[in-house]
Structure 1
Amino acid sequence: MSHLTGKAAAGLMAAGLFATAAVTPVQAQTPPPTYRVVPAPAAQPPAQITLRPDQAELLRRTLDEAALHGFEPGEFTPRGDSDAALVEATLRYAKAVKTGRLDTANFREDWGLRPTPFDARGAMARAVADDRLEDWLKSLPPPYPGYETLQMGLANYRAMAERGGWKTLPEGDKLEVGAAGPAVDALRARLAAEDPTTPAQLPRNPAGQSVFDVQLADALKRAQKRMGLQPDGALGPATRAALNVSVQRRIDQIVANMERWRWLPSAMPANRVQVNVAAGVLTLFQNDVPTLSMRAVTGKPGGGETPLLSSEINSIVLNPPWNVPAGIAARELFPKGQAYLNANNFRVIDGRLQQRPGPGSALGLVKFDFPNNYAVYLHDTPSKGGFTRYTRLASHGCVRLEKPFALARAIMAGDPEWTPERIDEVVAGGKTTRATVANPVSVYLLYWTAYVTPDGQVNFRQDPYGWDALLIQRIAEQRGPTA
């Protein structure tokens, strides 16, 4: 019998099988070694959790306040009066507030951020035994200001809903400073429903009609900024549509974003790049402080969505060529003809279309690589005009950056080889060069359509991919018809 290769032996070890004696060529004529099967550890019975009366009361209070985390009132009501029923309800709550309500089997494929598995029963049993149940319960929600401020925003919008929300603005002509009539009153009332600093009264014209003045325009600009729209102080179609989003839809957006916060790890690296795909903004954090921000163009809806993921930027490519995905080449480039391809420095290599590096390349002059299953990356672009738009959803899934060289210099700061001068020199030389990042920087592609700014205002963005609505729908479907 021939001796086992290292790979085969490793396979047996991984399977829980191992030889009682080594096998070498000298032993080829000896009886074959024997193997023994190592049984898998016996399944442990579920941890028994016995509560003191004060602990049971703490759990009841916690479940009564579950709505503060975006859950439906009574969603975790115990199914019975026993302590066992209370424990089971708490375990369902703990998992929901820690890792989210949606099973990962019901995630979209491009929701690449997945919550860390969580043994709620074991963790709760230890907390009860160690008499630190209250601390454990407080540790469950995401420990981020972004989540905590959304909790406050949720309370505000639920209060608005209890007051009746707001009325839909009727269709009509554009409204701007100087307009008068009932439509101006309707606009003032709509803005006041969310913004208490909206003027309580408007000036009136000789006919007794309310007049659209500068103060109302300022209130409208504040609303437009909160919704990611051009703050021109005029009520046009896009602003009217955003203001006509119902209060319940806004509540759903907040709840969906709180859910996505639970998909993140319990601690994020102090040095990281975050991209808000929905808002089209990249932020670099260093020592947990935002030090650089820029606009970004992200994936367009309908097949070009930028996925959610976390990874690490491990290299930067200077003067990158663009290896065109086959689908894009077939749909968008080959139909334009050979003359177009020649004029834009495209060539076919081994049956694949490639654009040569250079200032006119779709990837611009710098690309940031990070391992992922979606073949996406951050990159420069020769098309700078896209950054001036307030809605920046135009790519095929990758993220185009407004200030890529500022990001490259920041990531390479302190690297004696890749100084700013060296980066500029290599780019000027035109040769494709990969610069390894000595200390890889974490990168997160996120989808925030509701978040709170330092002034305490909840900002909303469109749900460009429909992922808020889909998430709320799938949670409801998973809960079943009795939800």
Structure 2
Amino acid sequence: MGRLRFATLSVIALCAACPAVFAADPAPVAAAIETGSLGGKDAEIGAAARRLIEPVAAAAHLLPADALPVDGAAAVAPPKPTPEELDRTALSTFYQARGDAPLWVTGEGFTAKARLALAELQRAGDWGLDPADFKVADIKGAPTPEALAEAESGLSLAVMAYARHARGGKIAKPAEQLSSYFDRRPQWMDRGALLSALAAADDPAPVLADLHPKHPQFNLLRQAWLETLRAKTAKGVKMPAGAELKPGDSHADIGVLRKRLGVTVAEGASPEVFDERLADAVRGFQTLKGITADGVLTAETRSKLNQPIKGNTDQLAANMQMWRYIPADLGDMHVMLNVPEYEIRIFKAGDEVFHERVTVGLINKQTPIFSDSMELVTFKSRWRVPDSIKVREIWPSLLSGGGMMRQHGLEMRRESTDELVDWRKIDWSKTPMDDYVIWQPPGKINQLGIVKFSFPNKHYVFMHDTPDKHMFAWTRRANSHGCMRIRNPLKMAEVILAADKGWDRAKIDDLVKTGPDHNLVPLDKKIPVHIVYFTARVLEGGKIETFGDIYGHENRFALALKGQWNKIKVGPDHLEPVDEKTPPRIAQRKAPKAKSDDSVAGLINSVLGGGF
């Protein structure tokens, strides 16, 4: 069995929060040190660390008996490694490649490089993270090899945790931990490349800071977050009028500037010297306020510093966290639909080329939050009723006379044979629905309207037109079964197909007028689609625009970031399969009276008229 290197260890204090399989007995280490079997400080640190980590490699005997295969039975697949375990594996490989040479300590304690890393971890709050998640015990007194091994491993694991949290790993599985509708994961991180970069850097702080999202809106939200915190801590601090000051200058006003921006001074340095860290804070503030971000304390900057921004820290932190899941590369041309805003935009080469109103899913039939790629535009599409609507809405209607089928001209086919069937001749109280599919043919009342935009996904949602144009005048437009309806879909088709195929609006209009039904137009190049959920956005000049938390995602993220998991209601998994074999209880009810047509029409409008 290959030996595991010291960086994957977590000594007793660190292993308290890890699975029991990672616990280590320090006795062999202490014995080795006491007997003098280790040579040299680095060798003592490496050997002590290896002794501490060795139980991990030999931990199979610690698995519960029911997890081990028995005679004649298939072996139980091991669980997927956790992010923390992946950290340990990467660190083990990293240290093995460097011959167990420590990264952060010498025989005397933490290096200057380690102190810089520790300082950056302590500033995690500047990025909306919790510094308590990255605590590392300091080395006190004359360090022993055991203490040095603990410090080395502790800082390495803390740095890896920081990196994961910067990419969204504080809430690693939001679809499971918060809501199945929030279908995102932390952005992928190359642990080996990160460790190599940290090893090569004299100052690890920029390497760690570079892990955070680069999206401009994330940076603006971060600056708004910092300003909101400063509004509390720097209350009453006024920036006086005065001369223009640049990095490197020394002036009494620099001390006031530090207080206003909450920037501490390095040990032994003068608070009245304009250092680079203070200049970075000034540049961030200038970016937020929409003025030249040169780090110079100009008259305009002085004036803006006396106009603090006050936002909601929980809301800003939640929105920053949601940005951490967004792909770093949105796509040269991409679609972004912000659910709480009820609006969609298309960007090309950084420019907005389309912007329209949309409607989204009901509170109990939400539009899921995820990213995928648009592959197909369909004109005059037929609509296959999703299984969830077929079972939960259409089947009860069939048991009560089939009003919904008639009202919307729906047709039924056997899925196994594709034959058209007469649904009126079937006893739906005794017939399962699993071999039947329901379609709505193209036409004026088709719920998909004239055009549909498809980006195949497990949620079975897409974007489309609608015959119910009046809904776009509503302020609150959450009224579908999850799909997104576009107010001007032909313009959207024009923008997409002009970029993809060079078509103009005349070509689009001709397809609508003379083209066949269910006319599929595959895209030559897939277009990234990002369904997002941002309830706060920073506008030019630092104004914070907010939107209603219609699905409660913001609140759940805010609670999770504060560790208040007991207050979060996750809700059922909306992707659980529906039962297509058991007739619904409505089978025991009486059929509705003829005069109830209006109420049936109302139901249809909410179920089908609102689109899927």
Match of 2:529 among 430, 435, 443: 443
Partner of 1:47: 94
- The alpha-carbon deviation at position 150 of structure 1 amounts to 0.6
- 8 Å CA contact retained: 1:418, 1:435: no
Q: Distance in 2 between matches of 1:163 and 1:135?
A: 26
Partner of 1:461: 547
Q: Does 1:101 align with 2:163?
A: no
Match of 1:328 among 389, 402, 405: 389
Give the gaps of 5 or more residues in structure 1: 1-42, 165-246
Partner of 2:406: 342
Match of 1:155 among 226, 243, 251: 226
TM-score by length of 1: 0.67
Partner of 1:80: 138
- The alpha-carbon deviation at position 131 of structure 1 amounts to 4.1
Partner of 2:598: none
Amino acid in structure 1 at the alignment position of 2:197: R
* Cα distance change, pair 132–427 in 1 and its aligned pair in 2 (3 A): farther
* Cα distance change, pair 266–414 in 1 and its aligned pair in 2 (3 A): closer
Calculate the aligned-residue CA RMSD, in Å. Answer: 2.9
Q: Does 1:361 align with 2:446?
A: yes
- 8 Å CA contact retained: 1:100, 1:263: no
More helix as a share of residues: 2
Q: Does 1:379 align with 2:440?
A: no
- The alpha-carbon deviation at position 162 of structure 1 amounts to 5.8
Partner of 1:203: none
Amino acid in structure 2 at the alignment position of 1:347: E
Where do residues 292-307 of structure 1 align in structure 2 (5 Å cutoff)? 292-302=354-364, 304-307=365-368
Partner of 1:146: 217
The SS at the match of 2:180 is coil
Match of 1:260 among 302, 316, 322: 322
- 8 Å CA contact retained: 1:143, 1:266: yes
- The alpha-carbon deviation at position 458 of structure 1 amounts to 1.4
- The alpha-carbon deviation at position 269 of structure 1 amounts to 1.0
- 8 Å CA contact retained: 2:385, 2:438: yes
Q: Distance in 1 between matches of 2:333 and 2:193?
A: 32
* Cα distance change, pair 133–417 in 1 and its aligned pair in 2 (3 A): closer
Match of 2:370 among 306, 309, 319: 309
Partner of 1:215: none
Q: Distance in 2 between matches of 1:130 and 1:62?
A: 14
Q: Distance in 2 between matches of 1:151 and 1:99?
A: 15
Partner of 1:428: 513
Q: Distance in 2 between matches of 1:353 and 1:283?
A: 32
Where do residues 4-43 of structure 1 align in structure 2 (5 Å cutoff)? none
Question: Mean Cα displacement is larger for which, 64-73 or 287-296?
Answer: 64-73
Question: Mean Cα displacement is larger for which, 376-385 or 63-72?
Answer: 63-72
Amino acid in structure 2 at the alignment position of 1:386: M
Listed one character per residue, the Cα deviations across residues 218-276 of structure 1 (whole Å, up to 9, x for unaligned) are xxxxxxxxxxxxxxxxxxxxxxxxxxxxx99x322211111111112222212100010
Match of 1:274 among 333, 336, 340: 336
- 8 Å CA contact retained: 1:257, 1:450: yes
* Cα distance change, pair 50–393 in 1 and its aligned pair in 2 (3 A): same
* Cα distance change, pair 325–131 in 1 and its aligned pair in 2 (3 A): same
The SS at the match of 1:386 is helix
Where do residues 280-295 of structure 1 align in structure 2 (5 Å cutoff)? 280-295=342-357
Q: Distance in 2 between matches of 1:415 and 1:473?
A: 43
Amino acid in structure 1 at the alignment position of 2:374: I
- The alpha-carbon deviation at position 90 of structure 1 amounts to 2.4
The SS at the match of 1:101 is helix
Partner of 2:379: 318
Q: Distance in 1 between matches of 2:489 and 2:456?
A: 19
Amino acid in structure 1 at the alignment position of 2:170: R
- 8 Å CA contact retained: 2:187, 2:324: no
* Cα distance change, pair 276–414 in 1 and its aligned pair in 2 (3 A): closer
* Cα distance change, pair 309–51 in 1 and its aligned pair in 2 (3 A): same
Partner of 2:6: none
- The alpha-carbon deviation at position 54 of structure 1 amounts to 3.4
- 8 Å CA contact retained: 1:301, 1:393: yes
Amino acid in structure 1 at the alignment position of 2:556: L
- 8 Å CA contact retained: 1:256, 1:471: yes
Q: Distance in 2 between matches of 1:366 and 1:140?
A: 40
- The alpha-carbon deviation at position 128 of structure 1 amounts to 1.9
* Cα distance change, pair 152–130 in 1 and its aligned pair in 2 (3 A): closer
- The alpha-carbon deviation at position 390 of structure 1 amounts to 2.0
Q: Distance in 2 between matches of 1:160 and 1:332?
A: 52
- 8 Å CA contact retained: 2:537, 2:545: yes
Q: Distance in 2 between matches of 1:416 and 1:146?
A: 31
Question: Mean Cα displacement is larger for which, 310-319 or 332-341?
Answer: 332-341
Question: Mean Cα displacement is larger for which, 403-412 or 100-109?
Answer: 100-109
Q: Return the index of the structure with the highest Cα Rg.
A: 2
* Cα distance change, pair 51–142 in 1 and its aligned pair in 2 (3 A): same
Q: Distance in 1 between matches of 2:317 and 2:562?
A: 13
Amino acid in structure 2 at the alignment position of 1:276: N
Partner of 1:9: none
Q: Distance in 2 between matches of 1:366 and 1:132?
A: 54
Q: Distance in 2 between matches of 1:418 and 1:399?
A: 24
- 8 Å CA contact retained: 1:47, 1:122: no
- 8 Å CA contact retained: 2:121, 2:131: no
- 8 Å CA contact retained: 2:116, 2:203: no
Partner of 1:169: none
Q: Distance in 2 between matches of 1:257 and 1:471?
A: 8
Q: Distance in 1 between matches of 2:136 and 2:501?
A: 61
Q: Distance in 2 between matches of 1:289 and 1:442?
A: 15
Give the gaps of 5 or more residues in structure 2: 1-88, 96-101, 106-110, 140-150, 236-309, 415-435, 568-612
Identity of aligned residues (%): 25
- 8 Å CA contact retained: 2:172, 2:185: no
Partner of 1:57: 115
Amino acid in structure 1 at the alignment position of 2:438: L
Partner of 2:158: 89
TM-score by length of 2: 0.53
Match of 2:129 among 68, 71, 90: 71
Q: Distance in 2 between matches of 1:404 and 1:330?
A: 29
* Cα distance change, pair 137–320 in 1 and its aligned pair in 2 (3 A): same
Amino acid in structure 1 at the alignment position of 2:184: L
The SS at the match of 1:260 is helix
The SS at the match of 1:359 is coil
- The alpha-carbon deviation at position 355 of structure 1 amounts to 1.4
- 8 Å CA contact retained: 1:79, 1:89: no
Partner of 2:592: none
Q: Distance in 1 between matches of 2:524 and 2:477?
A: 32
- The alpha-carbon deviation at position 397 of structure 1 amounts to 0.7
Amino acid in structure 1 at the alignment position of 2:449: G
Partner of 2:207: 136
- 8 Å CA contact retained: 2:333, 2:527: yes
- The alpha-carbon deviation at position 122 of structure 1 amounts to 5.4
* Cα distance change, pair 276–50 in 1 and its aligned pair in 2 (3 A): same
Q: Distance in 1 between matches of 2:132 and 2:501?
A: 59
